[in-house]
Amino acid sequence: MQYRSTTRRRAAILSTVLVLLVAACADPQSAATTPEAPSPPTSSTSTTAPPPAAAPTTTTSTTTTTPAPTTTTLEMKMAACFEDLQPGHTALPCAGFVYDVAVPDECFSGSCGLIVDYRPSVLTGEETNVETNMRALGNAAGFVVVQPNTTGGADAAARDRLFLDALIVAFDIDTNRVHVGGASGGGFQTWHFICDHADLIASAAPHASGRSNAPNDSCDFTEDRSPAEQVDILISHGRNDNRVRFERGTDQLDLVAQSWGLAVDEVLVEEDDYRWTRWTNDLGTVVEFLEFDWTKPNRYGHCYPGGVGSAGCSADNPVHYGEAALTFYIAHPKDG
């Protein structure tokens, strides 16, 4: 089956590669002109000067070094990853990394949104999808869903940004509907994205993560490193989380509230086992905070609400993380 946008997508990819290739090959010194050495003066006499003494012979050792890959090189590799991508789910190798990518049919003929669903450090993208069900949920709502199979802090977020930029060009993604979420290590990765790439995303949903234990371990909202702009955020954390303590989640909420001038605007849900509040400011920024008592059967509280796999709290929970995150994303586009 031929998709109407295949030619358009290949043309966009080719155009991106050509632009990057020109940038990579450009030599800032090429415009400089090396002056010619002056010609030796000519003598009007016939006297022949004695030949100069021979200079001592030296041997120069030349070592050829292969240059390290540059950002431009990585961008070129990323831009070429999507040409043969087909509808449905693909474990997509790209520039030495693997991204689980799920693209619904409609995104090959029209513009869709984009959801990044970061994995916990101990799960794969496939295992993460068992907990969030984000591929099915996001595709049904008109989103391409990406589940990176790596985490790794700010540097990894910068690399993933290159991947997402290339995907956005290849599929003509609606840049008002780009969202990032994740749990545990993926939650911290989400905070890195909020901190360093707020210009890209409309909203975010970090779960079971929070303030740094070390400098730049998360998003510290310092003078040196803070989001370039405010984004809407759904923060969720278990009160019984025994891996990333609940206090780290509330501390991170406090950092956001203090930095952006947020205050509690509404209590959305107040139950014995969970509470959901909405915080706002004069700019209209929305941050919601879901706190809950749910745990896995072994009382382990570092888990996905509503998840059914090894990292899920329980299918009986009244809130499912993937569904809650998607609902928040849909309600909070960038131009909203």
What are the DSSP calls for 176-189, one per residue? TSEEEEEETHHHHH
Give the mean model confidence (pLDDT) for residues 17-37: 41
Tell me the three state secondary structure of residue 308.
coil
Question: Could you tell me the sign of the dihedral formed by the alpha carbons of 335, 230, 178, 224, in that order?
Answer: positive
Within 10 Å of residue 99's Cβ, how many Cβ atoms? 22
The C-alpha atoms of residue 126 and residue 178 are separated, in whole angstroms, by 21
pLDDT-derived band at 78, boundaries 50, 70, 90: confident
CATH number of 71-331: 3.40.50.1820
How do residues 122-176 score in pLDDT, each as one tens digit? Answer: 999 999 999 999 999 999 999 999 999 977 889 999 999 999 999 999 999 999 9
Q: Distance between CA atoms of 206 and 317, rounded to whole angstroms?
A: 19
Choice between 227 and 8, residue whose per-residue pLDDT is larger: 227
CA nearest neighbour of 268 among 260, 278, 258, 259: 278
Copy the structure tokens of residue 230.
């405010």
Q: Which residues pair with 280 in a beta bridge?
A: 263, 286
* Location of structure tokens 């545990």: 184
Sheet holding 178-183, edge to edge: 88-94, 97-103, 143-148, 113-118, 178-183, 203-207, 232-238, 286-292, 274-280, 263-270
H helix or E strand, kind and range, residue 277: strand 274-280
Q: Does the reported pTM lie above 0.75?
A: yes
Read out DSSP for 91-128? EEEETTEEEEEEE-GGGGTS--EEEEEEPPTTS-HHHH
Environment class of 90 (CB within 10 Å of its CB; exposed 0-12, middle 13-18, buried 19+):
middle
**Alpha carbon distance 300, 293 (integer Å):** 11
Q: Is the pLDDT of residue 233 over 90?
A: yes
Structure tokens at 324: 């809650």
Looking at every residue in the chain, the average pLDDT score rounds to: 84
- Predicted local confidence at residue 214, as pLDDT: 84
- Mean pLDDT of the 79-104 span: 93
> Which pLDDT does position 139 carry in this prediction?
98
Rounded Cα–Cα distance for residues 194 and 238 (Å): 21
DSSP type of residue 233? E
State the pLDDT confidence band at 215, using cuts at 50, 70 and 90: confident
Name residues whose C-beta falls within 8 Å of residue 6's C-beta, 6 or more positions apart in sequence. 108
- Cα separation, 170 vs 11, whole angstroms: 9
> Between 83 and 312, where is the model more confident?
312
Looking at residue 18, its pLDDT comes to 42
Confidence class of residue 71 from pLDDT cuts 50, 70 and 90? low
Sequence letter at residue 39: S
**Concatenated DSSP letters for 152-213?**
-HHHHHHHHHHHHHHHHHHHT--TTSEEEEEETHHHHHHHHHHHH-TTT-SEEEEES--S-S
Residues 238 and 208 sit within 8 Å (Cβ to Cβ): yes
Q: Whose CA is closest to 292, among 211, 237, 233?
A: 237
Render pLDDT for 164-194 as a digit per residue (tens, 0 to 9).
999 999 999 999 999 999 999 999 999 999 9
